[in-house]
Structure 1
Amino acid sequence: MGKRRRVADERRKTRPAVVVGGMIAVVVGGAGVGAYALYGGGAVADERTQTAAADGTAKAVKTGPLSAEEVTTAAGAFLTAWQRGEVDEAAAATDDATAARKLLAGYRKDAHIKDATFTPGTPKGAEVPFSVKATVAYDKLSEPLAYDSALTVVRRAGDGEPVVAWRPSVVHPDLKDGDTLVTGEAGTPPVKALDRDGGELTAESYPSLGTVLDGLREKYGETAGGKAGIELRVIRGKESKSADRTLVELSEGTPGTVRTTLNPTLQAAAEEQVAKKARASVAVLRPSTGEILAVANSSKGFNTALQGSLAPGSTMKVVTASLLIEKGLASANKAHPCPKFFTYGGWKFQNLDKFEIKGGTFKASFGRSCNTAFISQAPELDDDSLTKQTQQVFGLGLNNWSVGVPTFDGSVPVQSHAQMAASLIGQGGVRMNPLNMASVSATVKAGVFRQPYLVPPEVDRRTLATAPRAMSSGTLSQLRELMAHTAVYGTAAEAMAGVGGDIGAKTGSAEVDGQKKPNGWFTAYRGDLAAAGVVQAGGHGGSTAGPIVASLLKLGG
């Protein structure tokens, strides 16, 4: 993790005043730990309602929107108490004193953070951003700590007083419910991750790999031959699926070595592609083996590509099409209905812009992503038909993948009525991520499910998941024909233009409640590469995720 840094003991002779939302916050002294004295003018404008107190007298309860002064004063009271180390007082300034007290007390006792100063920024409504500067000190070691966080002021239930809405991210933005901050000898030694060519993988070179490297350390740190150092770490709660994370290293450990399947050329290209769009994620696989060649996300901190749980929209029609063909409910070149509307389970389903295809084939419906062509077959299916197809043929939704880092393995719950119909087009309760949907394309290309993996199974002799059965040769050939048609003549044609060879693709747009634009999805294969991507709130998959996936397929592998 680089050379050990030396920390100079800095002591201020004077403490500057800072402006807090138009009010003056003066840092006043005391053993290197300041406090905020807030000064402001004007009465707090709020609405009050009257409730009966225990003694029968009227008790005023504050209601209505928070004033700027209330927000600033509540935030200042909390930060002042926290900075002084007055844990009980700081916890009492929140809406959950019990939870706050535990984490705030651990800030000094367990995380060994001292001399903390908190500088508020300009409030944005009820939210107050603030910066933190402190020192992590353990035995004779110390390192500086600096980060940004934020808090939100709300009215407390019962009396309406303004208090800080308690959540762990107030203490540190990486903290979630159940997580803690701990400084000491890291329980897990560090690892040096290598790409398939032997080059070192670092978060500095590949920003998307931060969570991947954390996951590799958690799984292989104890067995890779390294030695732990002294670190400030986020220790995840029992229910968390994320790996522990190092925030500050006070003394270097000796890393062990872990080899991965990542292709440095594809990984660099994937990083570059997702950086062009907000909330974009992509995963690239080798169908013949299941090796993960690249994984990238434009948003840092959560690995949507491997751990996301999103409705995949019409990319799920690849799985549904295989089901319909197997059951004799559809055939690539036979006539198939694609009406403007189809009602099932009390819901009225329609196609984009209410289009219809008269006298068309199932291939035409698949290529144009006709929703009603799939929904119209719901009456002929059992509630668990799609769930079984997804699990038994595509190896998804069984929660048994062993990739080498934490992953979400997809979910297609058994549903009925309208929700079952919606699941046929990748909505309802269906949840996937780019790794899952890249695996779907890889299964079509390879003809059999091969579990994706980032660390070769021979490294730790683990067993990879398998699917109970494969598609028939007839179903497989029709499914490849559908995806090839879509890549050349259908909704994926524009994105796949210039991608030659043996290709297949499917677009998707997944509606999300409260979101103006749908999540754009795209899954495709070319030769011995398969990839899938999503751009959240980006719009239609062909024009958002499509170019990302197509550009990576062009690189080969």
Structure 2
Amino acid sequence: MGKRRRVVERRNTRPAVIGGMIAAVVGGAGLGVYLLYGGAAAEGQAGATGDHKTVKTGPLSATEVRTTAERFLTAWQQGRVNLAAATTDDSAAATAQLTGYTKDARIKDVTLTAGTRTGAKVPFSVKGTVTYKGISKPLAYDSSLTVVRRARDGKPLVDWHASVVHPDLKDGDKLVTGESGTPPIKALDRDGGELTAAKYPSLGTVLDGLREKFGKTAGGKAGVELRVARGKASTADKLSDKTLVELGKGTPGTVRTTLSPALQAAAEKQVTKQKRASVVVMRPSNGEILAVANTSHGFNTAFQGSLAPGSTMKVITSSLLIDKHLASVDKEHPCPKTVKYGGWTFHNDDDFEIKGGTFKASFARSCNTAFISQAKKLGNADLTNQAQQVFGLSMNNWAIGVPTFDGSVPVQSAAQMAASLIGQGGVRMNPLNMASVASTIKAGVFHQPYLVSPSVDHRKTATAGRTLSAGTLSQLRELMRYTAAYGTAAEAMSGLGPDYGAKTGSAEVDGQKKPNGWFTAYRGDLAAAGVVQAGGHGGDTAGPIVAALLKMGS
């Protein structure tokens, strides 16, 4: 048993929460401070007996969480920045952010209302007024804070992140009110209709990106607004500034996109059928993006996600194996239950095997070992080169009109290289990338996807170094057609043939019970790809979403 602890609470009048509202603080900075002792006095205190200080550990109590949250929110509401910051585990960052809240964001008359605690997390609502040069607008939003125990002394503190101040802030970002540096835009679909986040919720981040890219050149005039100004880390992650409150309207410029209103509306509807779904539809013949949608609207996973693509990666790997004469559609190809490589043992789903089967059969049933078995015949950089030179991926040079993640296929060795062949290891993609892969197979050549025509700003688009040979391309189309007709994609693609092709995928994620489900396919002059995170098999989850959009025709 450890030493018996006693808690000495030194305080004047602790803050109270009345009807969910934080009452005024009485008694100054000594409010609600807890000193934890082991023995008669703390180590280092005058008159100490030499007993060592006992540091409180273990889960936070409801009282500790509630009291810490009350202290922080009360001090913030009263404008006592230093006291509020001292209640966090990063007082310097908190001081800067809370000072900027008043000085840069020009927010005043702040009222904070605490909600019901859940564990160490306390939600709260914020109401205030944004004022700039005589113009005022109300501000209201919800946020939350989490209380943690400081390791060195056990003191409960607010776990500081910029998102405590506003949920749209990432660390390093700040809130700013003033004349925006970038004029607003009016984004149009391909038919001339206006695109708004109210009508198409998934397009919020897309519209932010379009404004950042084209606002200054589209002919508009800047207005006055409260906005999220991105810091270095967010800029590196390709996040755009975000408008929160518009105080004075600017004059928007006009930007026409390639989005189809019918397909965009359908995509928005389809992703609501799964908890964490994302999908992209594009045109193989020229690279036009026709729709993009995500179940969650805070981050554009469809364009900027970085996820292991699972077996959809086998489209790229198959092109490599066929190019190197290591596989051929109708030739016999090994598909054992397991294969060892680089010290790892790789399995098929449920340890199935195909005895005496062809490569086409292995592809259609998504046999992992059929691909891993060829790793010993490949160089470490072969898959990377194939992804870059044929499919235009993993070079960080796409210019679609808004920020994107362009896929990553790093050079790896041993077991990680083998895992990359089946879309695991270090390989990372998103639906835009995988829709482009399907488009490349359908078109026979890589066309960089784009949301705004390159002719608008004369930007240079990415190109691939080479095209697949006619023989390899023909075999890849046969593999994807057979999978759509008879393989793991058959149920989702039923009735869509004969000019079609598909590949399913499931990607394991550490700590996640179900894999991410992937699906990429084409039909006529449409190609699409989707992912359902933690959804399970791609044919059952992402497949119906993609197929429903392809059914709408070219």
Q: Distance in 2 between matches of 1:319 and 1:485?
A: 16
Aligned residue for 2:401, secondary structure, equals coil
Q: Distance in 2 between matches of 1:455 and 1:53?
A: 66
Q: Distance in 1 between matches of 2:132 and 2:448?
A: 43
Q: Distance in 1 between matches of 2:393 and 2:200?
A: 28
2:180 to 176, 186, 193: 186
Opposite residue 157 of structure 1, the aligned amino acid is: A
Shift of 1:52: 5.2
Shift of 1:36: 13
Is the Cα contact below 8 Å between 2:189 and 2:261 reproduced in 1?
Answer: yes
Aligned residue for 1:61, secondary structure, equals coil
Opposite residue 425 of structure 1, the aligned amino acid is: I
Aligned residue for 1:224, secondary structure, equals coil
Aligned residue for 1:58, secondary structure, equals coil
Q: Name the counterpart of 1:77.
A: 71
Q: Name the counterpart of 2:533.
A: 536
Is the Cα contact below 8 Å between 2:22 and 2:112 reproduced in 1?
Answer: no
Q: Distance in 1 between matches of 2:468 and 2:201?
A: 38
Q: Name the counterpart of 1:94.
A: 88
Is the Cα contact below 8 Å between 1:523 and 1:531 reproduced in 2?
Answer: yes
Matched, 1:235 2:229: yes
Q: Report runs of 4+ in structure 1 exceeding 6 Å deviation.
A: 35-39, 43-51
Q: Distance in 1 between matches of 2:22 and 2:400?
A: 52
Q: CA RMSD in A?
A: 2.2
Q: Which runs of 5+ in 2 are unaligned?
A: 1-15
Q: Distance in 2 between matches of 1:374 and 1:26?
A: 61
Aligned residue for 1:555, secondary structure, equals coil
Q: TM-score, normalised by structure 1?
A: 0.92
- Deviation per residue, 1:490-509 (Å, 9 max, x gap): 00000001213400000000
1:458 to 450, 455, 458: 455
Q: TM-score, normalised by structure 2?
A: 0.93
Aligned residue for 1:414, secondary structure, equals coil
Q: Distance in 1 between matches of 2:262 and 2:533?
A: 25
Shift of 1:157: 2.8
Q: Distance in 2 between matches of 1:422 and 1:51?
A: 55
- Deviation per residue, 1:37-60 (Å, 9 max, x gap): 999xxx999997999548755323
Q: Name the counterpart of 1:166.
A: 160
Q: Name the counterpart of 1:518.
A: 515
Is the Cα contact below 8 Å between 1:36 and 1:80 reproduced in 2?
Answer: no
Q: How does 1:272-287 map to 2 (within 5 A)?
A: 272-287=269-284
Aligned residue for 2:54, secondary structure, equals strand
Is the Cα contact below 8 Å between 1:219 and 1:404 reproduced in 2?
Answer: yes
Q: How does 1:140-539 map to 2 (within 5 A)?
A: 140-240=134-234, 241-539=238-536
Shift of 1:464: 1.1
Q: How does 1:104-143 map to 2 (within 5 A)?
A: 104-143=98-137
Task: Provide closer, same or farther for how the CA distance between residues 48 and 19 of structure 1 changes in structure 2, counting only shifts above 3 A.
Answer: farther
Q: Distance in 2 between matches of 1:437 and 1:28?
A: 55
Aligned residue for 2:125, secondary structure, equals strand
Q: How does 1:7-86 map to 2 (within 5 A)?
A: 18-19=18-19, 26-28=22-24, 53=44, 56-86=50-80
Q: Distance in 1 between matches of 2:212 and 2:18?
A: 41
Q: Distance in 2 between matches of 1:522 and 1:474?
A: 25
Task: Provide closer, same or farther for how the CA distance between residues 272 and 36 of structure 1 changes in structure 2, counting only shifts above 3 A.
Answer: farther
Task: Provide closer, same or farther for how the CA distance between residues 47 and 345 of structure 1 changes in structure 2, counting only shifts above 3 A.
Answer: farther
Is the Cα contact below 8 Å between 2:37 and 2:54 reproduced in 1?
Answer: no
Shift of 1:61: 1.6
Is the Cα contact below 8 Å between 1:405 and 1:454 reproduced in 2?
Answer: yes
Q: Distance in 2 between matches of 1:29 and 1:421?
A: 62
Aligned residue for 1:287, secondary structure, equals coil
Aligned residue for 1:556, secondary structure, equals coil
Q: Distance in 2 between matches of 1:540 and 1:26?
A: 48
Q: Distance in 2 between matches of 1:89 and 1:313?
A: 50
Is the Cα contact below 8 Å between 2:411 and 2:417 reproduced in 1?
Answer: yes
Aligned residue for 1:63, secondary structure, equals coil
Is the Cα contact below 8 Å between 1:26 and 1:37 reproduced in 2?
Answer: no
Task: Provide closer, same or farther for how the CA distance between residues 48 and 62 of structure 1 changes in structure 2, counting only shifts above 3 A.
Answer: farther
Q: Distance in 2 between matches of 1:371 and 1:490?
A: 14
Instruction: State percent identity of aligned pairs.
Output: 72
Q: Distance in 2 between matches of 1:329 and 1:46?
A: 69
- Deviation per residue, 1:265-312 (Å, 9 max, x gap): 000000000011111000001000000000000101100000000000
Task: Provide closer, same or farther for how the CA distance between residues 505 and 132 of structure 1 changes in structure 2, counting only shifts above 3 A.
Answer: same
Q: Name the counterpart of 1:6.
A: none
- Deviation per residue, 1:347-372 (Å, 9 max, x gap): 00000000000000000000000000
Task: Provide closer, same or farther for how the CA distance between residues 547 and 126 of structure 1 changes in structure 2, counting only shifts above 3 A.
Answer: same
Is the Cα contact below 8 Å between 1:340 and 1:350 reproduced in 2?
Answer: yes
Is the Cα contact below 8 Å between 1:44 and 1:67 reproduced in 2?
Answer: no
Q: Distance in 1 between matches of 2:272 and 2:35?
A: 45
Is the Cα contact below 8 Å between 1:280 and 1:535 reproduced in 2?
Answer: yes
Opposite residue 194 of structure 1, the aligned amino acid is: L
Opposite residue 228 of structure 1, the aligned amino acid is: A
- Deviation per residue, 1:397-434 (Å, 9 max, x gap): 01010000000000000000000000000000000000
Q: Distance in 2 between matches of 1:53 and 1:390?
A: 63
The alignment covers a number of residue pairs equal to: 531
Is the Cα contact below 8 Å between 1:38 and 1:76 reproduced in 2?
Answer: no
Query: Bigger CA drift: 366-375 or 237-246?
Result: 237-246
